[in-house]
Amino acid sequence: MPIERRDLLLAAASLAVASAAGRALAADRPAGYAIVGLGTYGLGVIAPQFANCRHSRLTALVSGDPAKARAAAARYGVPERSIYSYETFDQIAGNPDVDIVYVCLPNSMHAEYTIRAAKAGKHVMCEKPMAVSVAEAEAMIAACKAADRKLMIGYRCHFEPYNLEAMRLARAGAAGKIRYLRSEHGFIQSDPSKWRLKRALSGGGSLMDMGVYSLQAARYMTGEEPIEVAARESTDRSDPRFAEVEDMIEWLLKFPSGAIASCLSMYSANQNHVLLMGDKGRIELEPATRYDGNRMWTGRDGRAQEITPPPGPAPTQFAGQLDHMAQSIRTGAEPIVSGEEGLRDMKIIEAIYLSAREGRAVRL
């Protein structure tokens, strides 16, 4: 029976997948990233950061806008053959210059592109929130495991000097026994047409966006996993911005040690703050989780001392994050903010929404 051209093409494609998946990252070669989604974050924040990286470079772009992709490719030295559309994305399997796909799309598209990237034999960096449900997050982890690829979540604060120093001080007992944490994150949404305010794309309101920072801070500052959550929401549903998603949501987390975290996210005020209180003092960050300009104080008995942390592992938190993934692939170690870490947050986020909806505390 003659071999069909289609069969040959399929065989070639699967060989390309196998060879890309099997190819180890050589020590002398920076990891190649493809950015999917050339929006405010992917193109505006991440793309320029490769200039600060030691182990990573930008090698491909995926966009629905060919002109934008071509302009970005010219700016960052990406060859035209390494520009993909959402339709041709799966052909990235055959591109040996791409080791990692960085998913910078609206939240509801994270799962689809993570799973397609893993099937194409690529490692995945996925933006926060990891997904819009626990089920999606679990499917993403399973797809990356099945393809023997690494999955990391874009939790940049784990590479940011102020947050790193705050974690170190908290673990070293600078505040004594941790009793309480407060964290509020918000910004003002002004345009009702934005995808962040459309449930089908965002999966939820401020909690899915800025709330992730408050939740993450509660977990990495206490170093504990919550056992119970109690939440309530306050949204003006007559406001056209909030027809589909919540504006303000507040939640209490109870930790095994007895410590409590009081967290808040909102889309109707600007706030960026973390405060940790212990029986010997406090650690406070404000702004706490910005791209730059964060500040920190430690204090006892009402006296506060401003702290300047030592430099982080890379020139910027973004470069630290990008290079950490590259090094994880090289050494075989799990990224410090893996898919499992994103899944833990997704489970708490679902519990926060359940608690707010049903007006009761939810055990985790």
Q: Which residues are catalytic?
A: 128, 213
Residue 114 beta carbon to ligand NAD: minimum distance, rounded to whole angstroms: 12
Q: Is 324 in the site for ligand NAD (CB under 6 A)?
A: no
Q: Is 180 in the site for ligand NAD (CB under 6 A)?
A: no
Residue 325 beta carbon to ligand NAD: minimum distance, rounded to whole angstroms: 14
Interacting span for ligand NAD (CB under 6 A) from 51-59, 104-112, 170-178, 307-315: 104-112
Question: Across the strands, what pairs with 278?
Answer: 178
Residue 331 beta carbon to ligand NAD: minimum distance, rounded to whole angstroms: 24
Residue 310 beta carbon to ligand NAD: minimum distance, rounded to whole angstroms: 22
Interacting span for ligand NAD (CB under 6 A) from 13-21, 102-110, 244-252, 337-345: 102-110
Map residues 11-40 to x or -, x wherever contact with ligand NAD holds by CB under 6 A.
--------------------------xxxx
* Near ligand NAD by CB under 6 A: residue from 13, 41, 52, 334: 41
User: Toward ligand NAD, which CB reaches closer, 41 or 76?
Assistant: 41
Token pair of 239, please?
């406001």
Q: Is 223 in the site for ligand NAD (CB under 6 A)?
A: no
* Near ligand NAD by CB under 6 A: residue from 55, 149, 150, 156: 156
Q: Is 362 in the site for ligand NAD (CB under 6 A)?
A: no
Whether residue 310 contacts residue 135, with contact meaning beta carbons closer than 8 Å, is answered with no
Residue nearest ligand NAD (C-beta atom): 39
* Near ligand NAD by CB under 6 A: residue from 128, 182, 185, 219: 128
User: Toward ligand NAD, which CB reaches closer, 187 or 297?
Assistant: 187
d(CA 111, CA 116): 9
Q: Is 64 in the site for ligand NAD (CB under 6 A)?
A: yes
Q: Is 201 in the site for ligand NAD (CB under 6 A)?
A: yes
Q: Is 216 in the site for ligand NAD (CB under 6 A)?
A: no
- Residue 5: CB atoms within 10 A of its CB come to 8
Binding positions for ligand NAD, rule: CB under 6 A: 37-42, 64, 104-107, 127-128, 154, 156, 195, 201, 209
